[in-house]
Amino acid sequence: MENMGERFKLLRKNNNVSQADMAKLLNCAENHYQRFEYGQSNPPYDKLIKLCEHFGVSLDWLITGRDHVLDAIGGGFDDYEWHMAGRITALSEESRNDLEKYLQMLELRDSIKG
């Protein structure tokens, strides 16, 4: 992901949030938010922090596209993994439990295939 605006869009879409809702969250006009998402303007730090807290992502990731804390311990995510993590966080507890069972089945299948 090349720029911060793309990560704004990824957060918004992964969480099924409209641009209007994002603008409301950040206490700004919708067209002002759109400039953030299109990479035409950079938001002030207080808005970045608010987004990170709301969506549970690091400021590091939002600004750079990398999470240096995760990278340092060997757990850096690529864009697809961030996308999937966002989708998982939107699931209900019941669906997360079902997903866990399905993942266990897939891991077992992969271990048998070798």
pLDDT of residue 75: 54
Could you say which DSSP state residue 111 is in? Answer: H
Q: What is the pTM of this model?
A: 0.60
Pull the structure tokens for residue 27. Answer: 């206490």
97 vs 63: CA distance, rounded Å:
32
Q: What's the CA angle centered on 11, arms 54 and 41, to 5 degrees?
A: 95
> Which residues, at least 6 apart from 5, have a Cβ–Cβ distance to it below 8 Å?
36, 37, 38, 39, 40
Ordered structural domains, the chain, with CATH: 4-113 (1.10.260.40)
pLDDT digits (tens, 9 = 90+) for 85-112: 778 877 888 998 999 999 999 999 999 9
pLDDT of residue 72: 47
pLDDT of residue 29: 96
Residue 59 has pLDDT above 70, yes or no: yes
Q: What is the mean pLDDT of the chain?
A: 85
What is the mean predicted confidence (pLDDT) over 36-41?
92
39 vs 12: CA distance, rounded Å:
15
